Amino acid sequence: MPTPLVVAHRGASGYRPEHTIGAYELAVAMGADYIEPDLVMTKDGVLVDRHEPEISGTTNVADHPEFASRRATKKLDGVDVTGWFTEDFTLAELKTLRAKERLPKVRPHNTLYDGREQVPTFEEVLTLRRTLEKKYRRPIGIIPEIKHSTYFHDQGLNPEKPFVELVRAHGLNRRSAPMWLQSFEITNLKQVRRLGYKGNSTFLAWTGEGPLDGPYDLVSKGDPRRYHDWMTPTGLKEISRFADGIGPEKFFVIPKKPDGTLGAPTSLVGDAHRVGLKVVPWTFRNENQFMAKDFWNGTDPNAYGKAIDEQVAYLRTGIDGLFTDNPDTGVVAREEFRSRP
């Protein structure tokens, strides 16, 4: 597989509603090396492909009067969230919904595809991966992320069990397989090992502040360590005992300065590589608003900026891949980086 890797973040989500079969097919057609499903659970214990349990932002559930009474407010990792939750739907019920664009104001052209696709299961995405491998005659990797593991366990569900069973059933349960598990939590990365998972795993971290600034499984038990503590040489050494890589938000790799322009690279990539961890940051997107000011074209936050230049700057830090909503941009950036490293 070519390196650095181009990972299609939620599929080619810059061009299609995220986490749909169409988004994954387009991503691979554009040259992505890996596809990324985020995973949550249904009431009947099926892993499905959504970024969060609350689905009003990415499906048409609000247009289904038969489900109106299921609207609820729940505490999700310490934060009140109102809407409809996957764990209150059976898979059969969830399959009656259709996906829609999460960011219609930013990506109005993607709304063309609203209402056309179902919510895929993890199993369907695993099957699609193999189908696309055969179609394009090249390895296609998959890098699923189990979302909110503690939240689902608190409700009597166990995402890790079907995860390991499905990875095994699809012939990907080996270290050499193009298979990585991601999580913002730690307990579940350890639990899958006890359940027999033999693929690779990566620990995610983001730079934000507030209730989600650390792994919720540990923070909720009083652990003082936040993500920025884990992204230090001491934290990375501990991560290397239970994971093979890190997925930091990109500003851990090159932060923004207070004026919004790009700063200097941190020591994170070298520190992680020294303890054997791969580094694949997120999320690279074409629109101005997601980049440091250096890469903006004009002042419209939704207009495309200099995304190729941004990604080349990050690739020069030695990262092992990048998550992007726009896999075609990632492929071009990688070519430019290779021609002028």
- Residue 11 near which of Ca ion, ligand G3P, none (CB within 5-8 Å, type-dependent): none
Q: Which of 336, 309, 311, 312 minimizes the C-alpha distance to 324?
A: 311
Residue facing ligand G3P at closest CB distance: 282
Per the structure block, which two tokens stand in for 238?
A: 């501990």
Q: Between residues 189 and 262, which has the closer beta carbon with respect to Ca ion? A: 189
Q: Between residues 50 and 170, which has the closer beta carbon with respect to ligand G3P? A: 50
204, 213 Cβ separation under 8 angstroms: no
What's the min distance (Å) between Cβ of 50 and ligand G3P? 11
Question: In the complex, which residues of this chain contact ligand G3P (CB under 6 A)?
Answer: 9, 38, 51, 145, 182, 204, 247, 282-283, 323
Q: Which of 9, 19, 148, 170 is catalytic?
A: 9
Per the structure block, which two tokens stand in for 9?
A: 């973040």
What's the min distance (Å) between Cβ of 36 and Ca ion? 6
Q: C-alpha distances in angstroms, 98 versus 51, 58, 60, 101, 305?
A: 15, 8, 6, 10, 31
Q: Which of 19, 51, 148, 170 is catalytic?
A: 51
The owner of tokens 């890098």 is 143
Per the structure block, which two tokens stand in for 221?
A: 């038990």
Q: Is 51 a catalytic residue?
A: yes
99 vs 26: CA distance, rounded Å: 16
What's the min distance (Å) between Cβ of 263 and ligand G3P? 21
- Residue 247 near which of Ca ion, ligand G3P, none (CB within 5-8 Å, type-dependent): ligand G3P
Question: In the complex, which residues of this chain contact Ca ion (CB under 5 A)?
Answer: 38, 145
| Neighbouring residues of 224: CB distance < 8 A, sequence distance ≥ 6 | none
What's the min distance (Å) between Cβ of 64 and ligand G3P? 26
Q: Between residues 93 and 325, which has the closer beta carbon with respect to Ca ion? A: 325
Q: Is 228 a catalytic residue?
A: no
What angle (nearest 5°) sits at the alpha carbon of residue 248, between those of residues 242 and 252? 130
Cβ atoms within 10 Å, residue 274: 13
Residue 169 phi, psi (nearest 5): -65, -25
Q: Between residues 93 and 281, which has the closer beta carbon with respect to ligand G3P? A: 281
- Residue 204 near which of Ca ion, ligand G3P, none (CB within 5-8 Å, type-dependent): ligand G3P
**So which residues are the catalytic ones?**
9, 51
